[in-house]
Structure 1
Amino acid sequence: MQDFLLFAGVGFLAQIIDGALGMAYGVVCSTVLLSFGVPPAHASASVHAAELFTTAASGSAHLYHRNIDWRLFVRLAPFGIIGGCIGAYVLTSFDGNVVKPFVTTYLALVGCWLIFRSFRKIPSNPVPIKVIAPLGAAGGFLDAAGGGGWGPIVTTGLLGAGAPPRYVIGTVNASEFLIATAVSLSFLIALLSGHWQAAGSYLEHAAAVVGLVFGGILAAPFAGWVTKSLKERFLLRAIGCLIVLLATWQTLQLVGVA
């Protein structure tokens, strides 16, 4: 019960930020799971299983408020799905202890990027079509391989290219449901086919997954309120600092200091 409540709280806070900014749910949850000693592939699979529910709730809210650019959606989602499936395959091909330093480094870089982005002015111009495909593929791959990154990579990339924030956040949240579904199916296929050799202890983290789902679903309806009430710069800096601190703690654990 203690693990369930802890991860419910993590899922709630992560989804509040993700729904409001179009990023951070996967990164925050994966970073916390890794800090508790969960192997990278298990952490990514757990987060994407939870995102099946949280992204459906968040995407539905953005659909209701008409925050989705459907032309951008149909161009972005397919490449995200392809990248996500490849990322899941790569992550389940290696031992968790070998992959963990790279995943930790990636998450720390994402945290630093969020902090840096908070000091930049957000433009609002049409997104070049040639940017969407590679951005979606890279975001999907890093999301699966790192346990999070679809939002930070794709949202920041689209905003940096000049897309309107409202439609970027809504579209990225809605398309993330398809990415999470594809990645979750990839992990399931890897498990059933025997490709994922270290999957045996996955059920040990069931309480964490259920907690993330419960907290995320509770938070999804409040995303619009958070968007109006808190400044984006404050949220980006706070979550960026949290991710960097957690990644630093993981690094200390890996080198045997903590």
Structure 2
Amino acid sequence: MSEFILFLIVGFLAQAVDGALGMAYGAISSTVLLSFGVPPAQASASVHAAELFTTAASGSAHLVHRNVDWQLFWRLAPAGIMGGCLGAYVLTSFEGDAVKPFVTTYLAVIGLFLVVRSFRKIPSEPVPARVVAPLGAIGGFLDAAGGGGWGAMVTSGLLGAGAPPRYVIGTVNASEFLVTISVSVTFLASLVSGHWQATGILTQHGWAIGGLIAGGLFAAPMAGWMVKAVPEKALLRAVGILIVCLSLYQAAQLVALV
């Protein structure tokens, strides 16, 4: 029960940040799970199982507040789905111990990227159509393979290309629901087909997944409001530092095992 409460808090804080910034739910949740010793594939599958609920709630909140650019959505979502399916398949093709150092490094890089991103000026211009699909495909792949990073990669990329923050965050959150479904289905298909030899994911990490879902659902309805009300840079900086610290802790654990 204590594990459920811990991950309820983690899920709430991660979703509150994600709703305000359009990024960091998966990265925060996956980094915490990895620090508890959960293998990368199981961590990613657990986070995406939780995101089936949180992204639906968060996306709905952004729809209500009219934060979604539908033209951008229909260019971004299909590419993210394809990249996510490929990333999940690749992650389940390798042993957890072999993949964990790469996933930990990736999450640390995401954390540093968020810190650096927090010091940059946010532009507001139309997004070139040619960058949307590649960005979505890369973001979907890294999100599935690393257990998080869709928002950090895609939101930051679109903002860097000059898109208005409100519509970028709303659209990225809304499209993440479809990406999450595709990644979760790929994990399930890999498990059922025997491609991925991992049993008892939901039973082993059931309390953690339940906590992430409950905490995320509490925070998700605030997403549409928070994107317009919360100062971005300080929160982005804090999240980046948190992810880096957790990744360094996980790296220290890995070094101790060598």
Task: Please report the TM-score for the alignment, with normalisation by the length of structure 1.
Answer: 0.98
Provide the residue aligned with 1:134 in structure 2. 134
Q: Sequence identity, in percent? A: 70
Provide the residue aligned with 1:70 in structure 2. 70
Residues 106 and 146 in structure 2, CA contact (< 8 A), matched pair in contact too: yes
C-alpha deviation, 1:76, in angstroms: 0.3
Give the residue type in structure 1 aligned to 2:69.
D
Provide the residue aligned with 1:146 in structure 2. 146
Provide the residue aligned with 1:30 in structure 2. 30
Residues 62 and 223 in structure 2, CA contact (< 8 A), matched pair in contact too: no
Alignment gaps of 5+ in structure 2? none
Structure 1 position 245 matched with structure 2 position 227: no
The CA deviation string for residues 23-67 of structure 1, in whole angstroms up to 9 with x for no partner, is 000000000000000000000000000000000000000000110
Structure 1 position 112 matched with structure 2 position 112: yes
CA distance in 2, matches of 1:227, 1:166: 6
CA distance in 2, matches of 1:136, 1:70: 15
Residues 22 and 151 in structure 2, CA contact (< 8 A), matched pair in contact too: yes
C-alpha deviation, 1:187, in angstroms: 0.3
Provide the residue aligned with 2:221 in structure 1. 221
Structure 1 position 155 matched with structure 2 position 155: yes
Displaced runs of 4+ in structure 1, greater than 6 A? none
What value does the CA root-mean-square deviation take over the aligned residues? 1.2
C-alpha deviation, 1:17, in angstroms: 0.4
CA distance in 1, matches of 2:122, 2:2: 40
Provide the residue aligned with 2:49 in structure 1. 49
C-alpha deviation, 1:200, in angstroms: 1.3
Structure 1 position 170 matched with structure 2 position 205: no
Provide the residue aligned with 1:193 in structure 2. 193
The aligned runs of 1:199-218 (5 Å cut-off) are: 199-202=198-201, 203-218=203-218
**Change in CA separation of 1:254 and 1:193 when aligned onto 2, cut-off 3 Å:** same
Give the residue type in structure 2 aligned to 1:140.
G
C-alpha deviation, 1:224, in angstroms: 4.0
Provide the residue aligned with 1:5 in structure 2. 5
CA distance in 1, matches of 2:184, 2:164: 30
Task: Please report the TM-score for the alignment, with normalisation by the length of structure 2.
Answer: 0.98
Structure 1 position 232 matched with structure 2 position 223: no
Q: Between Structure 1 and Structure 2, how many residues are aligned? A: 257
CA distance in 2, matches of 1:58, 1:225: 11
CA distance in 2, matches of 1:256, 1:87: 28
